[in-house]
Amino acid sequence: MHCSYFDAAACRSCTQMGVPYAEQLAGKQRHCETLLAPHTELEWLLPVGSQESGFRNKAKMVVGGTAQNPTIGILDADGQGVDLRECGVCSPGLLACFPVLAGFISQARLTPYDVPQRRGELKHIIITESPDGEVMLRLVLRSEQLLPRIRKHLPSLLAALPQVKVVSVNLHPEHKAVLEGDREILLTEQSTLRMRVNGLDLHLRPQSFFQTNTPMAAALYRQGREWVDELDPASVWDLYCGVGGFALHCAGPGRDVTGIETSREAIVSAKLSSSEAGLERVRFQAGDATAFALGADRSPELVIVNPPRRGIGKELCGWLESSDVQHVVYSSCNAQSLARDLAALPSFTARRARVLDMFPQTMHYEVMVLLERAG
């Protein structure tokens, strides 16, 4: 993949840009195999590659410049806006939205937030596209000051971009390097973006997490389902379940599935998907994964974990060690924390692993490991 922004040193976010894709994928496989080398009984499945460009279903863009001439992209070292509205890793559907959004910013006179000066209002645009081409748009503001202008001009934006189905404003009043705040104001009647994955309808609400590469997310869930169905456990926990991707894919006759996630928004979405699919033995609960496990009366036969980059940590590893859990499916976006966690699980043997390239043009990837209790 060629990127003019990278060549001009305007953006270096994609650190592997220009490296042949086959070489990128092989390098990620070698990196993961090296980190998990102590697990000598591990069977490595073939890595799953992604399309090289246009794969991102979500863009988190900083708004810079002025209301009359906004930039949509990132900030440079001096805090000035760098326009990346033709970024090649974003899906064509997202790219089609950026020029219209720039016009909307100018029309509604939405003053971009000036980071060095700590003034202005519009900080970020967060935009997500579903497999059906529908779009969720979130505008991150410092305050409610611009809300009347946004409401006034929103009909013209929706007329220009009819694929935009969900629009919200996120309030982020603090001056710190965090993408968004806690408060969300919904501006459309529709509140969720339908994400059709492997024949299942997942629902994404404004503050819910979803993988940024939809085909790779589908492959991830299919792999998890394949391993779970092969083992056929009667009970499964999906910890850090998000909007319920693994839990919903692993539902089956005679199987009780429980999903746990700290985000209440994500749990609302997961319950909606479960209800629509008529899955009576799948339940979701908002809460901390480790606290849920420690407070449970009994253990399931199989646990799925899909934690953030820090991994599951010593406390949950300790619970798994002392539990009756027979198998763990571990989906990790950080093989280093995965390696630390596996070292803290000596009662389990890593049987199979697979690298899935969720993030082409970068050093990041997803890896799934199937663990079996030794003996």
Q: Minimal CA–CA distance to 355: which of 151, 49, 64?
A: 49
Check if the beta carbon of residue 57 is closer than 8 Å to that of residue 91: yes
261 annotated as ligand-binding: yes
Q: Minimal CA–CA distance to 55: which of 203, 214, 198?
A: 214
Q: Buried b / exposed e across 136-169, counting CB within 10 Å, b at 16+?
A: bbbbbbbeeebbeebeebbeebbeebeebbbbbb
Give the residue numbers annotated as catalytic, written as ranges: 333
Length of the chain equals 375
Q: In degrees rounded to 5, what are phi and psi of residue 41? A: -90, 5
The H-assigned helical ranges of 232-263 are: 245-249
Rg (C-alpha) for the chain, rounded Å, is: 22
Q: Minimal CA–CA distance to 266: which of 209, 328, 307, 334?
A: 209
Are β-strands 43-44 and 58-65 bridged in parallel, bridged antiparallel, or unpaired?
unpaired
Q: Residue 63: helix, strand or coil by DSSP?
A: strand
CA distance 233 to 302: 6
Q: Please, which residues have CB within 8 angstroms of residue 329's CB and are 6 or more apart in sequence? A: 224, 227, 228, 246, 302, 303, 304, 305, 368, 369, 370, 371
Q: Please, which residues have CB within 8 angstroms of residue 73's CB and are 6 or more apart in sequence? A: 11, 61, 62, 64, 81, 82, 83, 84, 85, 87
Q: Minimal CA–CA distance to 116: which of 80, 163, 146?
A: 80
Q: Buried b / exposed e across 26-39, counting CB within 10 Å, b at 16+?
A: eebbebbbebbeeb
Tokens found for residue 315: 């406390």
211 annotated as ligand-binding: yes
What number of CA atoms fall less than 13 Å from residue 208's CA on the CB side? 27
3, burial (CB in 10 Å: exposed 0-12, middle 13-18, buried 19+): buried
Residues annotated in a binding site: 211, 240, 261, 306
Binding positions for S-adenosyl-L-methionine are 211, 240, 261, 306
